[in-house]
Amino acid sequence: MRWRERGVTLRQETDMPTGDRTRLTVTRGDARFALRIRIPGWLAAGDGRAELTVNGRRAGGRLQPGTYATVTRHWRTGDRVELVLPRVPVWRPAPDNPQVRAVSYGPLVLAGGYGDTPLATLPAIRPDTLSRTPGEPTGFTALADGRRVPLRPFHEIHHQRYNVYWSVAPRPAPAADVVRYPLDEGHGTSVADRTGTFGPGSLSGGATWVTDGDTTAVTLDGRDGHVVLPAGLPSGLAELTLSARVRVDTLAPSVRVFDLGYSKDTYLFLAATTGAGRARAALKIAGMEDEDFVDATGPLPLGRWAHVALTLADGTGVLYVDGTEAGRNTAMVASPLLLGRTSRNYLGRSQNSTHPYLHGAVRDFRLHNRALSADRVRRLAQG
């Protein structure tokens, strides 16, 4: 850089982004001025501190990421400023799902190289297995879906399939109901989560209360009646059991018992029947070409109360009706972990506005943070 007004020339030399340092040298001239040097904001996410030296001596005081360090002096030919920016891998959560993360190394985003292997959904990575590749200053590997995957700076991943976002399993919590809405208040429009984990849900449209024998439930009119549940469920669950008691009074394709998700492209639902005459549970994340689904051999029972349950874990989904297995899929691609903080959660309504509403009644909706065994589902169905 030739600063003609001051008669000064500076040269910058750096090995970034491969390395971690840059050097500014006054190659010509003699003048007093303030030199302001950017301290990048990404340093704040790591555990290292930038180091600034002038002619080999520390300068600049405390260096704050995201600001400029200012060095004011009389500069002479041969003066040298060096800035070292230490880098560490940083796992950064997605804003809508802390269990989906990307990894950065200083200013570089790392991408997993998959060659010609297509990816159906986000791989599950183990951050604790991230290790450097010998001889490659910005190369790493990590275990994802049981295999070691190379991770390199995104700008170096060319002409192959790659992945930037990863599924990261949470620490296991004690087995428990995460949500339980008995739907037995019998008055008002608010329904409470008896676990205290989530706030109240609400009756909407033509949803009201009904007493069936000694049981209180929410009845739905099939036109616009449904129950709205809070945002966030089932966030952070790598496995789960969803269950409810439902009475279907009219069978229509795509009528939902429950539908949890963001949109008609990201969902976890249970439909009372499909056009093929089978109850179906399905999971899909936006970007997947096809949905994962579990079909029963027939529709849900008509005109009577039935207990339904869906378990998801380790690539297997099992659908139960009245405590008996009704369908199974052992080759599911997506994990419920990828649903994140769902924002549109309904009982008796689909996220797709073209689908009909449930005509019938619902009660005792539960979300458990484990995939229950067949025996425990049977006992749950028996009350």
Domain-located, residue 282: yes
Q: Are 24 and 31 in contact (CB under 8 A)?
A: no
Domain-located, residue 172: no
Tell me, yes or no, whether 184 and 134 share the same domain.
Answer: no
Q: How far apart are CA 349 and CA 361, in angstroms?
A: 12
In this structure, what token pair is assigned to residue 114? 């998959």
Q: Select from 137, 167, 197 the last residue of a domain.
A: 167
- Containing domain of residue 181, as a range? 177-381
Q: Select from 149, 167, 185 the last residue of a domain.
A: 167
For 60-92, what is each residue's pLDDT tens digit?
A: 678 999 999 999 999 999 999 999 999 999 999
pLDDT-based confidence at residue 164 (cuts at 50, 70, 90): very high
Looking at residues 266-282, what average pLDDT do you find? 97
For 300-347, what is each residue's pLDDT tens digit?
A: 999 999 999 999 999 999 999 999 999 999 999 999 999 988 999 999
Domain-located, residue 146: yes
The number of angstroms, rounded, from the C-alpha of 166 to the middle of its chain's C-alpha atoms is: 9
Domain-located, residue 46: yes
Q: How far apart are CA 272 and CA 278, in angstroms?
A: 8
User: Who wins on pLDDT, 117 or 264?
Assistant: 117
The number of angstroms, rounded, from the C-alpha of 251 to the middle of its chain's C-alpha atoms is: 34
Tell me, yes or no, whether 224 and 323 share the same domain.
Answer: yes
For 93-144, what is each residue's pLDDT tens digit?
A: 998 889 999 999 999 999 999 999 998 889 999 999 999 999 999 999 999 9
Tell me, yes or no, whether 80 and 115 share the same domain.
Answer: no
Q: Give percent above pLDDT 90 in the chain.
A: 87
Tell me, yes or no, whether 205 and 294 share the same domain.
Answer: yes
Tokens 């676990």, residue? 195
Q: How far apart are CA 259 and CA 189, in angstroms?
A: 20
pLDDT-based confidence at residue 48 (cuts at 50, 70, 90): low
Q: Select from 33, 51, 84 the last residue of a domain.
A: 84
Q: How far apart are CA 299 and CA 251, in angstroms?
A: 8
Phi, psi of 380 (to 5 degrees): -65, -40
In this structure, what token pair is assigned to residue 321? 């009706």
Tell me, yes or no, whether 189 and 287 share the same domain.
Answer: yes
Domain-located, residue 158: yes
In this structure, what token pair is assigned to residue 112? 């997993």
What mean pLDDT is reported for the chain?
95
* pLDDT over 70 (residue 298): yes
Q: Is the pTM of this model over 0.75?
A: yes
In this structure, what token pair is assigned to residue 189? 């429009």
Q: Report the domain count for the chain.
A: 3
